[in-house]
Structures are given as C-alpha cells and as structure tokens.
Structure 1
C-alpha cells in the first residue's frame, strides 16, 4: 500500500489532530496531497446552495445534499462534513449506514420519526435493539457510527433537516440498494436463505433495484 495512502488511513482511523492549519485537497479525497498554502483561497473552504430545497420527486421522497470533501476541498483532514436532507410528505431517508462517521441531526421544519438499530448482541438470545424518537423543529438526535438508521417524515407537509458527520468523507450504504441492487446481483439463493423467504420475493425485490 502506498505510504501516503497508509498515512491517510492512519490519520482517519485514529482521529489524530492535523499537523498544520489545513491541507486543501488537490487530488482524489483518498490521497493526502496538499495544495501550496500560499495558493489557498477562501473559495477552498466555501460552498453555496444549502438554502435550496433538494428534489424529492423520487421513489422514497427524500433528497440528501452532501457537503463533504468532494464539494469543499478545504475539509481535507478536518474530520467533519455536512448534509441537508429534504423530505416530501411521508418521505423516507431509507435505512442506511455511514461506515466512517457518527451523525448528529437537527430538524428545521416538519416532524420526523427517526431511529437506529444496534449491532448484533453478543448473546444470541437477544435481539438488535431499536431506538426511536419523534423529532420536531429544533430537536437533535444522534446516530452512532456504522449503525443502521433512518428518518421518516410523518407529516403532510415538507420537512427539512441538517446533519453533521464526523468524517470529511463519511460514505453511505443504503441497505436495500446494496443488498438487492448490487452489480452483479447477489445470488438469489444467498438472499433467499439469508432473509428466510421464497425466491419469488427476492426476484421481485431485485427487480425493483
């Protein structure tokens, strides 16, 4: 593994404080290549547009507008990013995980039903625990790093939330898309046994993704 990539992974995984004021990224987000500090400008730390609603005319009725190191090069090595989430009435931000970040969400408009599920318990007789809450404007909720979580707009009007994430590039795994919409598809026999359903159910789900 190249030295710079190993260094980046080490800094990221162990949350070591930066060794300088900033490292404006000039290449791919996974490479620790800093722009000459003498050539850094205010625009390297700037993004405009989170005042605009995202287009929620899709199957789930939500839209996430991300502001991470891909949008702001100056976020490189700083371990933080931001998203705006718009929800149509009864819109859903489907169950998903962020493999590299904890998320803290604040509701601006509307009413959201939110929750997350714990990882598999050590005792096989216990179940994964679900934590849920109804959130109103001004309410804040935390989703721990790596755990499956969701937000659902339970109101008849649009809803808006903002969330901070503890990574410059938190990543996202949408559970249904990953399981039923992978390329190439996961073998249906695997999913049939894994979900304990008939193959026709798996075929129907894979067809939707």
Structure 2
C-alpha cells in the first residue's frame, strides 16, 4: 500500500462560485456546502433542491460537477464542519460546486472516487483536518496547501473499487431507510390530522 499526496493523484479546484445571479453570466444550478455536508453521495435526486445562480465561463470550466469526482467542505463557522466529503455519483448538466468547497477529480488510472470519499470519512483524515485547520472564533478553513497535501493511503485500484462499492451500497441502504422513516412520519401526521377532523 502506497502513501501519496492528493495533489499527485488528483486535480483539485477551489470553488469561488457564489450564490448570485448576474446579468450576462450563464444560468447554472449550485451544489452548495450544505448539499455536500448532508449527503454521502450527490445524485440526480438532489437536482431540484440545487439553487439557481449564474457563473462565468471560466468557473463553469473549473467547477462543473461530474460522476466520479469528490467534493469537500473547506470553510465554516465551526471546525467540525470542514473536511466533510461527498461523492458525485451521477453526471449533471450545468451544475457547479458552490463556494466554501473544493472539487477533486481523481486520476482514474490510480484513484477511485468512491474509495477517496470513503477514505475522507476515516478518523485518520478527520484528525489530519483537525490538526491542520486554521482560524479561531468565527471562521475555520482548510488552506489550499492543506488540501493539496492530504495523505492518501493507496491500495490497488481493484481493492479501492471493492471498498468504495461496499460502503456506497451501505450508504444507499441507510438513505433508503431514512426515506422510508420520513414517509412513515408524514403518513403518521396525516392520519393524526384525519382522526382529529373525524372527532370534530
């Protein structure tokens, strides 16, 4: 197993795309900090929740999201909210990663995106982020250099894919259970309201 710097095995773009819509720029949707923070994977199911904004052509070229990439949170008010990753599980048209995040495009001959996302969630990397986060009080950040230097333990690509697929399947089951629980809660509230109306 090799130990590599992230910047040696992936391309990294720091997003500066803000939430504004400006005349003359191209309309886009934004996958923002909260989308990355709350989801193990970014899928087409989230598309309608992405906010509408605009971007320059240079931003579109650098920060458009595509299947196989990984996004991480970079800046936040609390230390625990930075360094959280999400795997880009689907291809998107005209969707960009919003600011306070970094977009990582693995060299697919060396690094699997699903594995990278799983590795970013390990206590090993979370401790790295904790030790290297700068700021205090109102704002914490991961410097560009800290992100470029992330130490990645690299097994063979075959092993990476097996690990990434296993954890992605587990996450899909967790997400399905969460959706079922949410739907049951909605049905429960609807039934309770119906019973109240009948009683009245």
TM-score normalized with structure 1 length: 0.22
Higher helix content, 1 or 2:
2
TM-score normalized with structure 2 length: 0.23
